[in-house]
Chains A and B, each alone.
Chain A
Amino acid sequence: MSSKDIAVSVRGLSKAYTIAHNAPKHTMVGEALMHRLKHPFQRAEKETFWALKDVEFDIQKGDVVGIIGRNGAGKSTLLKILSRITKPTTGQIDLYGRVGSLLEVGTGFHPELTGRENIFLNGAILGMRKREIERQFDAIVDFAGVEQFLDTPVKRYSSGMYVRLAFAVAAHLSPYILIIDEVLAVGDIEFQKKCLGKIGDVAKGGRTVLFVSHNMQTVNQMCSSAILFKSGRIEMQGGTKECVSQYLKLSKKEETQSKVFAPHDEVICLLDISLSQGGQTAEFLTSHPIDITASVVSKGLSVEELICGFILYDEINNEILSTFFNDMGDCEEPRHFNGTYKFSCSIPANILNEGKYRLIFDVGIAKKQRVTSDDTHFLEFTIKNIDGVASRFGLGTVWRSSPVLPLWDWNSSQQDAR
């Protein structure tokens, strides 16, 4: 591969931030002076924090590269350096082509200005010349779909219109290297798809895209390769699939989505509920089980009396299923619950299809009393299908729209004699 195919070259890149421990941070000259006077010889205990350390990579022209990693892994720092907002501490970066960055949609939009005025202002902020903006003006307005509101101040826009207009301006920049940071966290699904399509077009046009997202499904769909960051270093670099699965493994840390409730002095009381899937707390994969726990205080209730379970609803409040710990009445030990108990179960892998779900806990005394309410004792989560059933075609939900997504054993045997 000749060097002229390279779009981005990064060598030995590090970025250090200094964190002063002992000394309070002064944003007042007076305070700073007084502090100096009082403690003339004190040295602030400074710690150097390396947001990025010895990062090296090359990106070829026309690649769409996913930059992934947990919060604080250094992704945003990298993008800030690449888009020249902040300077590196060491290292060299060579960019072969104009860089356009989309670190936050709508930066520089002014609420008092009209849509038209904001298009020009925002274009100028992103480095476009006035003539360029004029040339692209109709395309921008068309993409955003805000023709009627061009002369309305954007403060009167709905949030959807606002985001659409902001993305449209940014998307019509024409850089060789486009840097996108988590912009698609906003807007409705329809628009998100439109944006992803636009980004795909950019790459097909031979330009390079660096794409940061926490949404592994999008990364999987969009990116031809990926770079996985962990605590400021590159953990892995290569195929998107491998990096995504490594990322999911990295996040196996114990982390759960949970709610804790105030204890009260009744016969039965729900203390806390939680939800997790290998470190993820609200976004799960169809291909892995989801662990659910509930802590309950019971004062001498028998196994027949005690109710503990949950009902699962989908996005539009259809009841999907319900399950209780003593569903089959075969819970032998203990016969009486006296003290604090942790009930746990897991929704098996390959049962629920993609979607948003709400899990409402049902705890109480059989036929007498329910101590939980639909409005407080619930947890919500989203399930995505990235590497589950049907994903081998890369089609995801488009192909299966059923509420369940089971993975069953199939056999095939040839019947005609050979």
Chain B
Amino acid sequence: MNLTSSDLTTPIAKPHLSIRPPSGWQALDLREVWQFRDLLLSLAARDVKLRYRQTALGALWVLLQPLLGAGILSFVFNRLASLPTGSVPPILFSYVGMLSFTLFSSTLSKASSSLVGNSQLISKVYFPRLILPLSTVLSSLVDFGVGLLMLVVLMAIYRIPPTLALLSLPFWLGLIILLSLGFGLFFSAVMVTYRDVQYVLPVLISFLTFASPIAYTATFVASKTPVGLHTFYFLLNPLASLIDVARWAMLGSGQVLWNYVGWASLISIAAFVGGLLSFRQMEQRFADVI
């Protein structure tokens, strides 16, 4: 145990740490999260390392999963139901939609189960609990990054040049993450008490797979439904507009319904803030209940 002598001779006048009973709403202590940033990285690294250990295809699964998903949706929506994809080849179109959707769904499901999955840590060690759901974002982003490389290859094959719209992509990805994290934080905290969440979530995600414009466009939904109904759709599923606008950023073509993108952005930010506050509120009980 290394301790320099200066550490010991320094008189500590005021307590290094005071522990008090919980009172009302908890302040967001982001400084503490920052102190534990190494843990954030370590947990994300663990997640990435472990996921494809003892698999034959290894990291190839990162590419195969969205590609296969896109293929299936593309077959159903574009081939069987012949929904239009504009000038973009259907498989590329669906793949781009699938990338954004996977970013959302994997963050949501991993963040939601992050507390229960690490219950042993929570009951034995102290660290800011926010670290657990936050670390899942990093590992989802790694997958997204690999998927993006594949996209470059696909775009080169289909000779689709990137446009300036690409510069706005980080912004839309940020919103997708805020949205998924907002719900992820809330669900993870609820799951500590009610394990139902882990059964509801896969159903919700597979429902969203069809309800989100992965192999079709939001514009198409808007053109086929009366205004009242599609307003309802876009407000209920803010992910729809975000997937659409992220596709526009990546491929540089297609129409974007900007007013709904605006709403979706606001809803995402609100979801994140709400998730964060409810997480902090429920956090006090985690170690006692889990």
Cα-based distance from A126 to B39 in the complex (angstroms)? 9
Q: What 0/1 readout, one digit per residue, does chain B (64-80) give for beta carbons within 8 Å of chain A?
A: 00000000000000000
Q: What 0/1 readout, one digit per residue, does chain B (40-67) give for beta carbons within 8 Å of chain A?
A: 0111011001100110000000000000
Whether the Cβ atoms of B18 and A85 lie closer than 8 Å is no
Cα-based distance from A389 to B53 in the complex (angstroms)? 57
For A135, the chain B residues whose CB sits under 8 A away are 2
Closest B residue to A104 by beta carbon equals: B124
Whether A84 sits at the interface, judged by CB under 8 Å, is yes
Whether the Cβ atoms of B22 and A87 lie closer than 8 Å is yes
Selected from A87, A92, A99, A107, the residue in CB contact (under 8 A) with B284 is A87
The segment from A167-175, A374-382, A410-418 that touches chain B is A167-175
Whether the Cβ atoms of A103 and B124 lie closer than 8 Å is yes
Cα-based distance from A92 to B288 in the complex (angstroms)? 19
For B194, the chain A residues whose CB sits under 8 A away are 26-29, 32
Interface size for A (C-beta < 8 A) is 61
CB-CB contacts below 8 Å: B5-30 with A: 7-8, 11-13, 15-22
Q: What 0/1 readout, one digit per residue, does chain A (193-219) give for beta carbons within 8 Å of chain B?
A: 000001001100111000000000000
Whether B126 sits at the interface, judged by CB under 8 Å, is yes
- Chain B nearest CB from A210 CB (Å) reads 14
For B45, the chain A residues whose CB sits under 8 A away are 121
- Chain A nearest CB from B81 CB (Å) reads 36
Lowest 3 A-B CB distances belong to which pairs?
A94-B15, A124-B42, A84-B126
On A, residues with C-beta under 8 Å from B are: 4, 9, 17, 26-30, 32, 80-99, 101, 103-104, 107-108, 110, 112-113, 117, 120-121, 124-130, 135-136, 139, 171-174, 176, 198, 201-202, 205-207
On B, residues with C-beta under 8 Å from A are: 1-3, 7-8, 11-13, 15-22, 36, 38-39, 41-43, 45-46, 49-50, 53-54, 120-127, 193-196, 284, 287-288
24 CB contacts below 8 A, A to B, read A4-B13, A27-B193, A27-B195, A83-B125, A85-B122, A85-B124, A92-B18, A94-B17, A95-B17, A97-B16, A107-B120, A107-B124, A107-B125, A110-B46, A110-B50, A120-B42, A121-B42, A121-B45, A124-B38, A124-B39, A124-B41, A125-B121, A130-B38, A172-B1
Given A96-B12, A171-B1, 10 more A-B residue pairs with CB atoms under 8 Å apart are A9-B15, A28-B194, A88-B20, A94-B18, A97-B16, A121-B43, A121-B45, A125-B121, A176-B7, A207-B1
